[in-house]
């Protein structure tokens, strides 16, 4: 991503910037003209605050996330640390993670999030970055939640499973290692397993 690149997502734009000499990513939620102005402002405000809170709580829990440098509620923007590294999707596509090191890291870190009541909400390997120092960093918590319940955790896991089966079709062993690492580090693993199966079964009959 160059200094002039603007990435436009469904609800936000992202551009590289600088804050007190540090390289940053600025995420802004622009107005949606198809929504009533008051409703639009409420949605942009609540989603911005929610994302900042989740990123902060995940970091306190021990999961690597971008540092938040500034929040501008007049623009509904978040200025955060620019993470130097490679998206995990690209790493897995290129290397396959033959010793399952990265996938075990994903499982362990996801277990930390869930153990602290945090769900990501859009859990794909595109929303994880392997940093230059070898850390795993989770990004884009815009669909996430705190005080997560078993249903939320099951949805996170099901999304991740589907990401692997669609984007990383050959990495069956790696997905198994990821799930093993997750269940080895989460309280009440059988309860989560049952919920994931429930969610899968819903998909089969709808």
All residues at 6 or more sequence positions from 40 whose CB lies less than 8 Å from its CB, including other chains: 31, 32
The answer, yes or no, to whether residue 66 has pLDDT greater than 80, is yes
Looking at residue 202, its pLDDT comes to: 83
- Residue span(s) of the chain under CATH 1.10.510.10 come to 85-204
Q: Which residues of the chain form CATH 3.30.200.20?
A: 6-81
Q: Is the pLDDT reported for residue 206 higher than 70?
A: no
Give catalytic residue positions: 122
Average pLDDT over residues 180-200: 96
What is the pLDDT of the chain when averaged over all its residues? 93
CATH 3.40.50.1820 at 85-204, yes or no: no
Question: Stretch 94-108: mean pLDDT, rounded?
Answer: 97
Residue 205's pLDDT is what? 47
Q: What CATH number has the domain spanning 6-81?
A: 3.30.200.20
| Among candidate residues 177, 193, 154, the one with its CA nearest the CA of residue 107 | 177
Residue 118 confidence (pLDDT) above 80: yes
Q: What was the pLDDT predicted at 195?
A: 96
CA distances from 30 to 45, 55, 126 (A): 11, 20, 23
Strands (E), 43-155: 68-72, 77-81, 85-87, 128-131, 136-138
């Amino acid at each position: 991503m160059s200094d002039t690149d603007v990435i436009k997502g469904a609800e936000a734009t992202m551009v590289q910037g600088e804050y007190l000499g540090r390289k940053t990513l600025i995420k802004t939620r622009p107005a949606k003209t198809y929504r009533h102005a008051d409703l639009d402002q409420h949605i942009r405000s609540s989603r911005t605050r929610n994302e900042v809170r989740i990123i902060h709580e995940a970091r306190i829990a021990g999961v690597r996330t971008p540092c938040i440098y500034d929040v501008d509620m007049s623009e509904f923007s978040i200025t955060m640390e620019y993470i130097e590294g490679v998206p995990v999707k690209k790493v897995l596509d290129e290397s396959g993670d033959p010793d399952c090191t990265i996938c075990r890291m994903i499982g362990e870190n996801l277990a930390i999030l869930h153990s602290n009541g945090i769900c990501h909400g859009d859990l794909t390997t595109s929303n994880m970055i392997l940093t230059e120092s070898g850390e795993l960093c989770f990004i884009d918590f815009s669909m996430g939640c705190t005080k997560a319940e078993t249903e939320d955790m099951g949805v996170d896991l099901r999304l991740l499973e589907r990401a692997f089966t669609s984007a990383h079709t050959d990495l069956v062993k790696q997905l198994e290692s990821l799930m093993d690492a997750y269940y080895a580090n989460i309280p009440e693993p059988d309860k989560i397993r049952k919920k994931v199966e429930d969610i899968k079964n819903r998909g089969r009959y709808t």
